[in-house]
Amino acid sequence: MTEIIIIRHGETEWNKTGRFQGHSDVPLSEEGRAQAEALGRNLVLDHADAIYASDLTRAIETATPLAKRFGLTVMPDPLLRELNFGAWEGRNFQDVNTESPDAMKRFYSDPERVDIPNSEPFPDFQKRVAGRVREIVLEQRGKRIIIVSHGASIRILLADILFMPIRSIWHVSQLNTAVNKIRFEDDGFAVVTLMNDTSHLRTGEAR
């Protein structure tokens, strides 16, 4: 059995102001850094064998306290990045909605068919993220692996594992530093054992 613990990065200023981040390299906010420290300090885990992260700063900054705690080196991986939002990167959600309400509606209701100029198609995005996670499972068979990634990346992975249509991903919440756990059997069968847990952020609690 291989356990994947996949965690969303901490808060950024763009999260607070409602902007599409995607591949833009946005660092953690002050609150995000505090969340990362709380995650590293409070997550109840006796060991981890390796820690991977998206190569974007906000993911690496979130992974660093956990890596220090377990004496590991963060392995950055561009295949674990967020969706590339193309022309929407850096733009405010409300501004895009005002300019292109039909596209914004389709983004949430039928993302496989949304037309965002220069963006990454959602099916390709799923193949990239889910494919890389399954490669890590094969490379690290029998171990416990931490991965720090992004909100949509985790949702698209969960959709792959749970055989959910891609259009369902926005029905899954992923808060900043949310912890998710997935158990992979040796034959590749996967079971989600924890989803969107942030108890490490509450004083005196951890899971």
Task: Assign residue 50 the CATH number of its domain.
Answer: 3.40.50.1240
More confident residue, 179 or 188: 179
Within a domain: residue 95?
Answer: no
The verdict on residue 184 lying in a domain is yes
Note the pLDDT of residue 206.
40
Tell me whether residue 181 is in a domain. yes
**How many domains does one find in the chain?**
1
37 carries an active-site annotation:
no
- Classified as helix, coil or strand, 178 is coil
Nearest Cα neighbor of 5 from 41, 52, 37 is 52
CB 26 within 8 A of CB 14: yes
pLDDT surpassing 80 at residue 204 = no
Catalytic residue among 9, 23, 150, 200: 9
CA–CA gap between residue 75 and residue 101 (Å, rounded): 39
Residues in the annotated binding site for substrate: 8-15, 58
Tokens representing 197 are: 């847990």
What's the average model confidence in pLDDT over 61-88?
Answer: 98
User: Within a domain: residue 91?
Assistant: no
Tokens 């990239």: give the residue: 128
Quick one: the chain helix, strand, coil %, rounded to 5? Answer: 45, 20, 35
Assess whether 47 carries a catalytic annotation.
no
Residue 97 lies in a domain: no
Q: Which residues are annotated as a binding site?
A: 8-15, 58
Q: What was the pLDDT predicted at 100?
A: 92
User: Which one of 3, 61, 82, 89 is the catalytic residue?
Assistant: 82
Domain-embedded: residue 159: yes
Provide CB contacts within 8 A for 187, sequence distance 6+: none
What are the DSSP calls for 115-171, one per residue? --TTPPPHHHHHHHHHHHHHHHHHHTTTSEEEEEE-HHHHHHHHHHHTT--GGGGGG
Task: Tell me whether residue 102 is in a domain.
Answer: no
Distance CA 145, CA 143 (A): 6
Residue 104 falls within a domain, yes or no? no
- Say which residue the tokens 């054992």 belong to: 193
207 pLDDT exceeds 50?
no
Q: Say what angle helices 30-42 and 57-70 make with each other, to 10 degrees.
A: 30
Domain span at residue 63 reads 2-83+122-201
CA distance 180 to 154: 9
pLDDT tens-place string over residues 127-185: 999 999 999 999 999 999 999 999 999 999 999 999 999 999 999 999 999 999 999 99
Given a cut of 90, is residue 56 above it in pLDDT?
Answer: yes
Residue 204 CB neighbours (<10 A): 6
